[in-house]
Structure 1
Amino acid sequence: MNSERSRWVALAVLCTGMLMIVLDVTVVNVALPAIQNDLGFTQSSLAWVVNAYLIAFGGLLLLAGRVGDLVSRRGVFLAGLAVFVLASLVCGLAGSQEVLIAARFVQGVGGAMTSAVILGVIVTMFPEPRERAKALGFYSFVASAGGSIGLLAGGVLTQGINWHWIFFINIPIGLATGVASVRLLPRDRGTGLGRGADLLGAVLITAALMLGVYTIVKPAAELGWGSAQTLSLGGASVLLLLLFVLREAKARDPLVPLRIFRSANVSGANAIQSLTVAGMFGMFFLGTLYLQRVLGYDSLTTGLAFLPHSVLMGALSLRYSERLVTRFGARATLLGGLVLIAAGLALFARVPVGGSYLVDVLPATLLLAVGISGAFPALAALAMSGATREDAGLASGLVNTTTQVGAAMGLAVLATLSATRTGHLAAEGRPEAEALTGGYQLAFLIGTALVAVSIAIALTVLKPERPEPAEDSEAEEELPLSVGL
């Protein structure tokens, strides 16, 4: 196999690993009722099947990305796959609540290690701007469409066999990905730990992120954002984050060099990523609930309802995203995509009680598919635009961290406000379907507002990209976006 072809095959291998990680979240969501009945979870304890994974995943992404820079991105990717596959086996064999929750936490560790370094590997494998834009479009499709594909896969596996297979299916996929990665991924050596690792910084940022994600998914979601427990834990998380920033500003060899945030495009893109994912999360989570609890769909039919969204997003991401970014620039492509995402969420906000799939649901999902296929490859390019080769893993971990924190925050905020609105409508004597729909409509409106804030940030913070400079030794040290205007 020639080197040119092997790079693209290696990209497919990396994206297969990412797809396995992304699928795991929504596949588990679909299977939660079956898991609850089989293992005897209460409604409150059932949330830990998801939360245990999110806390480990969100808390370790930055650390895993930086370890990849210092040691080996290929090595971290392979180690993460091994941990994820073994934890998936234990999840599938779990016969008690405690074993499943513990295995889900370990699965989150493996997921963080695997996904944190993928973007860093991609941008080093594809230094030419047009090729990089195409590669990032493929990656973004997998990362974005995996959620809706997971709904379908979860319905098929749970209804066709049993919930254990949503975890067992990871084993052959993970093993095949690992074998192909050993053969195809380029060997790399990081900058090394010779001058000492920033252990204190690692402890502070991991503790801050884990505590922050825990606060969002547990006390904030269950007790409210103004509760004493939420405020105290949230304050502790912010304090740990401030201590981490102080540590990194003074450390001789920081875990996270603060220079990465000097780029307006990098900082702005990560802020947009977090807000947009938070707003969009309602489409998958609350949209699923609307289809099932209001329109009466089962889990398999719900998955099929999102299939056109995935197919359209795949076709656009793989064929046109790279051309748009190359022709118009990442900033302009991002703005167009965000406008379409906001329009799709606004359409969702008007779904009626007796809604029709073809009239009220499908047009919104297709608008979102078009918007996502343009916005997320552009966001990935902007978020990686200021990273040097030495910091590519860190920048990759940062992108994934903002995504996960945005998803967790979006789930907590939108689900809480939706439930509160539904409770108020039910107290007024409204029928159950009407009360539920009113709560979902509010959540979609808030999601639309979050994406509108993202548009404002894109207009005011992001800078138009500069064309690729001529052959230059200094330019080769950077990984600039350079997609032209």
Structure 2
Amino acid sequence: MSTDPRRWKALAVLCVASLFITLDSQIVTLALPSMKDDLGLSSDSMQWVLSGYLLSFGGLLLLGGRSADLLGARRVFMIGTFLFLVSSLLCGLAWSAGILLGARVVQGMSAALMAPSALSILMTTFTEPAERNKALAFWSGTMGFGATAALLAGGPITEFLGWPWIFLINIPVAAALLALSPRILRESKPSEGKRSFDPVGALTITVALVAAVFAIAEAPRRGWADPVTIGMLLGALALVGIFVLVERRSDAPLVPLRIFRSRSLVGGNLVMLLLGASAFGMALGASLYGQQVLGYSAVVFGLGFLPMTVVNIGGSALAQSMVAKFGVRAVAAAGLLLIGGGCLLLTTIAADGGYWSDLFVALVIFGPGLGACFVAASIAALSAVAPQESGLASGINTAAFQIGGAIGVAIVTSVSTSFATSPEPKVALTEGLRAGFGVVVLFALLGVVVTFTLLSRPRPAKIIPLEPTRSGER
């Protein structure tokens, strides 16, 4: 395949899309109180402004990735971008809680189409391994930056422009992406052979993911032992079992199970799952501590994330060269150790503490670890996948981070609530958050174990095409 002269322009377009998809997963956090006042949101509705996006995004990612492989990645990316534009407009103009929640679900659906198709385009545009790793580093760094920049930007936008503008700023960006995509992005060749979406497989895995994410999102409110939580988790497991059986027998499976023979793909996605749990869990805890214990406003505390955002970019940039020199395993492990070290410091926060004494150093340590690990985990999960299945692999990779985030938020919330025992509210919240940050340390350490167990020893990354499926083999 010849080198595409537009490839770096294409990367810029794809990274902008990645940034805004990631921003919208968390940017609403600091705007929720304003939304509650304007639209009369209940406490449950406030949670679902976040969870509705996460449910549709995480639940439909595999279907979105497979659609990119079957229909062409650019086509699916543009469909998703159009839906993103329309849903963002509806969110910004929402005149009731129901309209806002429904539009957020559609926005998550659009992200489930955009994210894996964009990453699939990247994988097929950059055909030379060294350049591909560099492009993946930029892509991953953008997502890592977006995860922290959302908290940085959400407060000032809400304060000075109003909460609708956290959605309305997406409209000119989406319009520009739609205009540039046909000119700059290369259309991938749809998969040959039988073009089937495997409706039974698609239905079972999508419902399974939605049920699992729903149970995890509701667990802090209902309790992990609540019959609804247990029933949804057991139902999700049963549906996953049915999905595996369906995929083994399907002539055109949604997810060819042979893809999981790659230790690098499995290991990279497990690391990404734990990275999502760490990133979302830490961000939630830090936000609660900064605003509800230290008393900072949304604007001021949003700016408090600026140092972490800056060093996150540096960690992502450095990781690209470090992966080429030392391999994904070393870089991922180093990043996870920085994440764990930052959160270990956060286990010492005090109710009468301050930003500089209790948060600053921890955020500066956590930031580069997040950036470096995101890059390494993405390269590990995607570099060994054949181009014709890059959309599917991209969907799995993005789903791992999003579902990991749901798990992290749910567990950190549950643990924090359980350990908040003091009669004084600020002291109780601080006690709980210290325990929650301790859980994030465990996430990071578990990630290190996965890294050394499943990721390869240092060596240059290369593309390893998967063998064609033999009859009866999945």
In structure 2, what is the equivalent of residue 451 of structure 1? Answer: 444
Tell me if the contact between 1:88 and 1:170 (Cα under 8 Å) persists in the aligned partners: yes
Report 1:64-463 matches (<5 A): 64-192=64-192, 194-218=194-218, 220-318=219-317, 320-422=318-420, 424-426=421-423, 431-463=424-456
C-alpha distance after superposition, 1:348-373 (max 9, x if no partner): 11111222322321111111112122
Shift of 1:375: 1.3
Relative distance call for 1:195 and 1:130 in structure 2 (3 A) is closer
Query: C-alpha distance in 2, partners of 1:408/1:316?
Result: 24
Query: C-alpha distance in 1, partners of 2:427/2:43?
Result: 23
3-state SS of 2:162 partner: coil
3-state SS of 2:6 partner: helix
1:464 maps to which of 447, 454, 457: 457
Tell me if the contact between 1:130 and 1:322 (Cα under 8 Å) persists in the aligned partners: no
3-state SS of 1:425 partner: coil
Shift of 1:118: 2.4
C-alpha distance after superposition, 1:287-330 (max 9, x if no partner): 01101111111111111100111112213323x22110101111
Q: Which amino acid aligns with 1:38?
A: D
Query: C-alpha distance in 1, partners of 2:222/2:456?
Result: 40
Per mean C-alpha deviation after superposition, the further-off stretch among 113-122 and 287-296 is 113-122
Q: Which amino acid aligns with 2:452?
A: L
Query: C-alpha distance in 2, partners of 1:86/1:468?
Result: 39
Query: C-alpha distance in 2, partners of 1:105/1:195?
Result: 27
Query: C-alpha distance in 2, partners of 1:242/1:453?
Result: 25
Tell me if the contact between 1:265 and 1:463 (Cα under 8 Å) persists in the aligned partners: yes
TM-score normalised to the size of structure 1? 0.93
In structure 1, what is the equivalent of residue 10 of structure 2? Answer: 10
Tell me if the contact between 2:91 and 2:104 (Cα under 8 Å) persists in the aligned partners: yes
Tell me if the contact between 1:92 and 1:165 (Cα under 8 Å) persists in the aligned partners: yes
Shift of 1:100: 0.9
Tell me if the contact between 2:4 and 2:125 (Cα under 8 Å) persists in the aligned partners: no
Query: C-alpha distance in 1, partners of 2:33/2:131?
Result: 43
Query: C-alpha distance in 2, partners of 1:60/1:195?
Result: 19
In structure 2, what is the equivalent of residue 483 of structure 1? Answer: none
Question: 5+ unaligned residues in a row in structure 2: which ranges?
Answer: 468-474
3-state SS of 2:349 partner: coil
C-alpha distance after superposition, 1:78-134 (max 9, x if no partner): 110100110110111111111111111111100110112222222222222221222
Question: 5+ unaligned residues in a row in structure 1: which ranges?
Answer: 470-474, 480-485
- RMSD of aligned residue pairs (Cα, Å): 1.8
Tell me if the contact between 1:309 and 1:369 (Cα under 8 Å) persists in the aligned partners: yes
Tell me if the contact between 1:280 and 1:345 (Cα under 8 Å) persists in the aligned partners: no
Shift of 1:414: 0.6
Q: Which amino acid aligns with 1:293?
A: Q
Relative distance call for 1:167 and 1:467 in structure 2 (3 A) is closer
Query: C-alpha distance in 2, partners of 1:3/1:258?
Result: 31
Tell me if the contact between 2:62 and 2:396 (Cα under 8 Å) persists in the aligned partners: yes
3-state SS of 2:384 partner: coil
Query: C-alpha distance in 1, partners of 2:290/2:464?
Result: 50
Per mean C-alpha deviation after superposition, the further-off stretch among 113-122 and 2-11 is 2-11
Relative distance call for 1:31 and 1:258 in structure 2 (3 A) is same
Tell me if the contact between 2:255 and 2:392 (Cα under 8 Å) persists in the aligned partners: yes
Q: Which amino acid aligns with 1:89?
A: L
TM-score normalised to the size of structure 2? 0.95
In structure 1, what is the equivalent of residue 56 of structure 2? Answer: 56
In structure 1, what is the equivalent of residue 45 of structure 2? Answer: 45
In structure 1, what is the equivalent of residue 471 of structure 2? Answer: none
Shift of 1:459: 1.4
C-alpha distance after superposition, 1:415-453 (max 9, x if no partner): 12112222x223xxxx22211111110000001011101
In structure 2, what is the equivalent of residue 29 of structure 1? Answer: 29
Query: C-alpha distance in 2, partners of 1:62/1:49?
Result: 22
Query: C-alpha distance in 2, partners of 1:203/1:478?
Result: 26
Tell me if the contact between 1:71 and 1:193 (Cα under 8 Å) persists in the aligned partners: no
3-state SS of 1:117 partner: helix
3-state SS of 1:353 partner: coil
Query: C-alpha distance in 2, partners of 1:150/1:326?
Result: 30
Query: C-alpha distance in 1, partners of 2:237/2:100?
Result: 30
Tell me if the contact between 1:330 and 1:465 (Cα under 8 Å) persists in the aligned partners: yes
- Identity fraction in percent: 38
3-state SS of 1:443 partner: helix
Q: Which amino acid aligns with 1:111?
A: A
Relative distance call for 1:435 and 1:197 in structure 2 (3 A) is closer
Per mean C-alpha deviation after superposition, the further-off stretch among 401-410 and 355-364 is 355-364
3-state SS of 1:47 partner: helix
3-state SS of 2:152 partner: helix
Aligned residues: 466
Query: C-alpha distance in 1, partners of 2:95/2:273?
Result: 36
Relative distance call for 1:250 and 1:63 in structure 2 (3 A) is same
C-alpha distance after superposition, 1:137-184 (max 9, x if no partner): 111111111122112221111100211111111101111122122211
Relative distance call for 1:247 and 1:295 in structure 2 (3 A) is same
Query: C-alpha distance in 2, partners of 1:193/1:91?
Result: 40
Relative distance call for 1:134 and 1:445 in structure 2 (3 A) is same
Query: C-alpha distance in 2, partners of 1:255/1:87?
Result: 27
